[in-house]
Each structure stands twice: as structure tokens, then as C-alpha cells.
Amino acid sequence: MSNRGRGRGGRPGGRRRRRNDLDRRNKLVNDDGEEKAVEVEGVITSVLAGTQFRVELQSGHEVLAHISGKMRKRFIRLVVGDRVKMEMSPYDVTKARIVYRLG
């Protein structure tokens, strides 16, 4: 089998995917490289299994949230009543990622 027409990256035509292209495809990223996540604050109403939480937003809606990797790494403990800062995708407003504990 010949490698004719293939570049060093092993893709047809020699075109390699850049890291930036993958970020745009997998994340919510602007052309400027900024993420388009919506930041909201809420209060933890219940603790669920698997580091997941029910969080009530200031608007009264409840979302299912999980802890970000950095918070897991630093063993940040969250309990009912804690105020938290979260990032939500504009595509699914029922789920969020907790990124900061406000107290």
C-alpha cells in the first residue's frame, strides 16, 4: 500500500488537524479562542451520588451540576447551602459544571 497523496500527518492530501480546530469542534469556542460558556451563580439544594449536585439558580430554576476537575483535584468540599459559581452551555441549560465555591 502506498502513502502517495498523504502527508506526514497520515491524512489524505497531507492536511493535519491543528489543536485549534479540535478545540473549536469539541468546545464552545469563539473565533477569538474564547469559550462561550455562560457563568451563573446558585445555591446547592441537595448532594447526589458521583459528585453531582442539585443547584437552584437565582431565577428559581434547578439544574444538575457536577464538580470541575480542578475542584476534585484540590478536594474542595461542597455542602447543602453553599453558594457556587457555575458554567453552563447555552445548548443545554439543565446541566452545569461547578467551577468555584463562593461560601
- Per-residue pLDDT reduced to its tens digit, 24-81: 455 556 667 666 789 999 999 999 999 999 999 999 999 999 999 999 999 999 999 9
Amino acid at 71: M
Q: For residues 30 and 49, state if they share a domain.
A: no
Q: For residues 48 and 90, state if they share a domain.
A: yes
Question: What domain count does the chain have?
Answer: 2
Q: For residues 76 and 49, state if they share a domain.
A: yes
Residue entry with cell 443547584: 55
- Per-residue pLDDT reduced to its tens digit, 75-102: 999 999 999 999 999 889 999 999 999 9
Q: For residues 30 and 51, state if they share a domain.
A: no
Q: Please choose, from the candidates 37, 26, 71, 27, the residue with its C-alpha nearest in 3D space to the C-alpha of residue 52.
A: 71
| Residue 61: partners with Cβ closer than 8 Å, 6 or more residues away | 93
Q: For residues 44 and 73, state if they share a domain.
A: yes
Q: For residues 15 and 62, state if they share a domain.
A: no
| Structural domain for 81, as ranges | 38-101
- pLDDT given for residue 103 in this prediction: 82
Could you give the CA distance from residue 71 to residue 57 in angstroms, rounded to a whole number?
A: 20
For 47, phi then psi, to 5°, come to -105, 125
